[in-house]
Amino acid sequence: MSRLVRKGSKRPRRARPAPVRQRYLYERLARAPVTGFRPRLSPVTARAWRARWDRQQDRLVPDRSRRFDRIASMLGGVLGPRFRALDLGCGTGSLSEHILAANLRARMVALDFDPVLLALGRTALGDLGGRLTWAEADLRERDWASRLPPGRYDGAVSSTALHWLTEAELSRTYAIVARRLRPGGLFLNSDHLAYDPRSVRLTRWDRRQRHRLRPAPSARSGETWAEWWRAALSDPRLADEAALHRLRFPRAHVRTPTPDLAGHVRLLRRAGFREVEVVWADGPARILAAVR
């Protein structure tokens, strides 16, 4: 009897076309939330990986901690001491943790899609006494906001994450953020927001001087982005998360074609933000603020 025919039945079982089924399974697995007991990752290990992540990011992102200070103080200054804000592309939750330490009555919702970074953040920080909630969602998806705790937010922030989105994804994301913020709500995006493509000489100058400021390989200490990821993905205590990471982000992060500063301003205004200003800058490393 053929393996496709059930016992006691003459009707052959319908074979599904493999590619569709494979795609379905892939989608299910890639979108499935990471849940359940994880015996291998202890808080001590997660804290060590997180500290290593911050050292790697501090080397890579100009003035990262100074920008975190500015974001934390602006949120408190504009919104008052008690606010609830969203952290888009939170990674291990560094910015959310920083904001909560500076604003003791605030609450944060930290959102990301990377299972490795989320596992490290969740395991190391927990919910910080009920002030930090984690959300797992893909900002490229149309319905990512359905993964958020309900209600309106007072603020939203992001740090070095939105340049992973294309213009269409960013436009949709800004429209969603505008809908979820209350009137008067504040959005702060710290990222590399490029010069106008016609500013060829200024862009070239900026690249040259950033290159010059970077320590020579011989004098370099600490890990690069690629070295951190290689090490984390080969840690057996993170094996499950690493497998899911490879499914969700199958290609190493390469430059996504994303808007320049003027493009961000245009998209934010189109989404309904009334005031849009650069509030901190060192060349194209900037914080862009927008009031709903």
116 or 268, CB closer to ligand SAM?
116
Question: What minimum distance in Å lies between the beta carbon of 94 and ligand SAM?
Answer: 4
Window of 2-10, 41-49, 77-85, 153-161 that interacts with ligand SAM by CB under 6 A: 153-161
Burial 17-52 (b: 16+ CB within 10 A, else e): eeeeeeeeeeeeebeeebeeebeebeeebbeebbeb
* 3-state SS class at 28: helix
285-291 and 275-282 strand pairing: antiparallel
Determine, following the binding rule CB under 6 A, whether residue 223 of this chain makes contact with ligand SAM: no
* Candidate list 112, 154, 191, 241; residue touching ligand SAM; CB under 6 A: 112
Nearer to ligand SAM, 119 or 178 (CB): 119
Tell me the C-alpha distance between 204 and 201, whole Å: 5
- 79 sits near ligand SAM (criterion: CB under 6 A): no
Q: Does 259 bind ligand SAM (CB under 6 A)?
A: no
Q: State how far the Cα of 279 lies from the Cα of 69, in Å rounded to an integer.
A: 13
Binds ligand SAM (CB under 6 A): choice among 49, 153, 164, 228: 164
Segment near ligand SAM (CB under 6 A), from 108-116, 202-210, 226-234, 272-280? 108-116
Q: Does 139 bind ligand SAM (CB under 6 A)?
A: yes
Helix (H) or strand (E) holding 102, with range, is helix 94-102
Binding-site residue total for ligand SAM (CB under 6 A)?
17
Sheet holding 84-88, edge to edge: 132-136, 107-112, 84-88, 153-159, 181-192, 285-291, 275-282
- CB neighbourhood size of 223 (10 A): 17
Site for ligand SAM contains 229 (CB under 6 A): no
**Residue 124: which of 77, 91, 102 has the closest Cα?**
91
Nearer to ligand SAM, 17 or 250 (CB): 250
The residue number whose beta carbon is nearest to ligand SAM equals: 91
One-letter amino acid of 160 = T
Site residues for ligand SAM per CB under 6 A: 57, 89-91, 94-95, 112-114, 117, 138-140, 159-161, 164
